[in-house]
A and B are shown apart, each in its own frame.
Chain A
Amino acid sequence: MARATSPRVPEDPAGLGRARAAGIAAPALLVVAAFLVFPALWTLYLGTTNYRLTGFAARHPRSVGLQNYTNVIQDPEFHHSLWLTFEYVIVSAVIGQAVLGFTIAWLLRDATGWFKRLIEALVLLAWILPSSVVAFLWVAMLDRDAGTLNALLRTPGTAWAIEHPMAVIIVFNIWRGTAFSMLLYSAALTGVPPSQLATARMFGANSWQQLRDVVFPHIRGHILTNLLLISLWTFNDFTPYQITAGGPNGKSEILPVYIYQTALFDGQMGLGAAISLLMLVINLVVALVYLRLLRERRQERVAA
């Protein structure tokens, strides 16, 4: 007796076929292979050499195996930079951008009209303006003599970038990147069934309980995607260099800046490349953790 079938989801509805599909995906894959994969792998290879920008090692780089890596892992400056980077990512992205972005999306979810548009426009503007411009705007605002922040807070003479470098770049990153989270959560919130919120409200749930019991379970997948992307972007963000240049004395030397100093300033390209690989590995671990959480959530949903 034949078993009954389940309704099928059709594959390849346009009748592309494997060959044609490969053909139309080819340009993208070729460009990626040549200009992304190849240089990236080459960089990783450099990490096993003592290549330098100038001097003898520039002409005749020698393979040094894993020596760069052992040097880096033992280097306290690397640990310091790593620690700063985690601080930067967690406070400014995972907490700052995500929470602020969600808060704005939540508060504005039912709003219409000019106020909503104005806020959204400004938040987005902070994201869209070119990074060189934005960096300079912050330099100007934080200036100890003429900067608007000191004028506003009535704290003349405070050199923010020197006295509180980490705080500065953290707030800067929140300012700069909240737009993405706001957009994402805005879209995600439209997918929460209003009937469930209404039901919760009728049972007497207050705003916080509604959020916890109805909204968050629905958008958990989006939260994870959002956190993954902004973590990775923040991790690799070089812009703070243009505000604090990693200083003073390395107090805000997050990893991208550390690599820049090592590879360009000190000219140790091989070492810089090795650190890049380590950064990649850390990114990978972070991404895998998120993906694991995401997959658990998917299974939970299917089983329900």
Chain B
Amino acid sequence: MAEIRTVDLTKTFADGGVTALDALNLTIEDGEFFALLGPSGCGKTTLLRTLAGLETPSSGAVHIGETDVTRTPPGKRGVAMVFQDYALFPHMTVTENIAYPLRVRGVPKARQREAVLAAASELGLTGTETTAGLLDRRPGALSGGQQQRVALARATAAEPSVFLFDEPLSNLDARLRLEARTFLKRLQRELATTTVFVTHDQAEALALADRIAVMQSGRIRQLGTPREVYRRPANTFVASFIGSTPMNLLEGVVRDGRVLVADSEIAMPDGTGERLAERAEVVLGARPEYFRVSADPRDGAFRGTVEVAENLGSSLLLTLDVAGTAVQVVVAEEDEPEPQATVWALPRKDRTLLYADGELVG
């Protein structure tokens, strides 16, 4: 159990002079389930590998607990890493795989066996009919879900202070992924070990993490709890990245205390009025889920015609044509409008965001 701290952590790769990490300062609390989220190439994997010791920083420092581990080799940092492909050694049995960290340390066989059984039981790899004999099988004979658990068991057997997971769920198929997500969250809570995981899937980050760092081009664009990142994304990049349905980001202009967007006058959220001058150019952000849609005219609402309706199960995603601009709103299944109907979509004032020069106002 340890806190992780980076100080001005920078990593440039020699060929092409690419800056993968740009003077990052980050503190991950002891016992936290922390997500590194971002599109590919943003540096999240490089950061994870630097924490593991597989990459050496160009400048800056990494601290785990009280110790400065910047120059410490990977095997001696007290971290355990699970790779995206699990890296289960194909020529060893499940038992031998799980025991590997202990074998490397020279732990006596009897103790190895105990630790393996404990880890396997923790991860649900023993004790049921489906798992009979699993410990003696080779990884090739296991299902995807089982492989993932063996990889986790191996990491727990190492008794590290920190877990590092690289895209832990991306190799599982959709159905399994949801189950595994719940399992992983519960496991981390039980073990209470500081865990850092990398993902490009924002839903996964929101569901699992205590806090998320959204990264882009080697920088952290926002650091916060899932709620903070979802409700109040700090900039348009985070706003467009987070959320299963993309947030509406519409260009507008401040006029007479309102925002003129696509020929509609929308009320300004509290706390923004005093910060924005008349005629300031802004981007209005409103999530499709936070609209009230009605067939009757509303003041401060978007007036548009229904172009496309996508069925999401218990709700519908409507794409409205508002004076030539596309605005997406989500309505409940019973409120399905007629195609090409004219509707008024009123964004919730307490969930509407304004961005000036890409940054959140207010």
Q: In the complex they form, do A and B come into direct contact, defined as C-beta atoms under 8 angstroms apart?
A: yes
Q: Spell out A's residues near B (CB within 8 Å).
A: 1-8, 10, 13, 15
In the bound complex, residues from chain A placing their C-beta under 8 Å from that of B45 are 7
Instruction: Establish whether residues B73 and A7, one from each chain, have CB atoms under 8 Å apart when the complex forms.
Output: no
Instruction: Establish whether residues A5 and B20, one from each chain, have CB atoms under 8 Å apart when the complex forms.
Output: yes
A5 and B54 in contact, given A15-B73, A15-B74 (Cβ under 8 angstroms): no
**Among A4, A7, A13, contact of B217 (Cβ-Cβ < 8 Å):** A4
Instruction: Establish whether residues A5 and B41, one from each chain, have CB atoms under 8 Å apart when the complex forms.
Output: yes
Chain A, interface SS category: loop
Instruction: Establish whether residues B19 and A2, one from each chain, have CB atoms under 8 Å apart when the complex forms.
Output: yes
Instruction: Establish whether residues B18 and A3, one from each chain, have CB atoms under 8 Å apart when the complex forms.
Output: yes
Instruction: Establish whether residues A5 and B218, one from each chain, have CB atoms under 8 Å apart when the complex forms.
Output: yes
- Cα-based distance from A7 to B46 in the complex (angstroms): 9
In the bound complex, residues from chain B placing their C-beta under 8 Å from that of A7 are 40-41, 45
Q: Show 16 residue pairs from A and B whose CB-CB distance is below 8 angstroms, ordered by the A residue.
A: A2-B19, A2-B218, A2-B219, A3-B18, A3-B217, A4-B216, A4-B218, A5-B42, A5-B43, A5-B218, A7-B45, A8-B13, A8-B20, A8-B46, A10-B49, A10-B54
In the bound complex, residues from chain B placing their C-beta under 8 Å from that of A6 are 18, 41
Interface residues on B, range: 20 to 34
Q: Spell out B's residues near A (CB within 8 Å).
A: 13, 18-20, 22, 39-43, 45-46, 49, 54, 73-74, 216-219
- Cα-based distance from A273 to B18 in the complex (angstroms): 52
A1 and B41 in contact, given A8-B13, A15-B73, A15-B74 (Cβ under 8 angstroms): no
- Cα-based distance from A5 to B39 in the complex (angstroms): 11
Q: Closest approach, in angstroms, between the C-beta of A244 and any C-beta of chain B?
A: 49
- Cα-based distance from A136 to B302 in the complex (angstroms): 94
Instruction: Establish whether residues B22 and A4, one from each chain, have CB atoms under 8 Å apart when the complex forms.
Output: no
Q: Closest approach, in angstroms, between the C-beta of B41 and any C-beta of chain A?
A: 4
Q: Which residue of B lies closest to A12 (CB)?
A: B54
- Cα-based distance from A110 to B135 in the complex (angstroms): 36
Q: Closest approach, in angstroms, between the C-beta of B79 and any C-beta of chain A?
A: 15
A1 and B217 in contact, given A7-B40, A10-B54 (Cβ under 8 angstroms): yes
In the bound complex, residues from chain A placing their C-beta under 8 Å from that of B54 are 10, 13
Instruction: Establish whether residues A4 and B41, one from each chain, have CB atoms under 8 Å apart when the complex forms.
Output: yes
A3 and B46 in contact, given A8-B13, A10-B54 (Cβ under 8 angstroms): no
Q: Which residue of A lies closest to B18 (CB)?
A: A5
Instruction: Establish whether residues B42 and A4, one from each chain, have CB atoms under 8 Å apart when the complex forms.
Output: yes
- Cα-based distance from A3 to B216 in the complex (angstroms): 9
- Cα-based distance from A3 to B218 in the complex (angstroms): 8
Q: Which residue of A lies closest to B74 (CB)?
A: A15
Q: Closest approach, in angstroms, between the C-beta of A14 and any C-beta of chain B?
A: 10
**Among B39, B49, B73, B217, contact of A2 (Cβ-Cβ < 8 Å):** B217
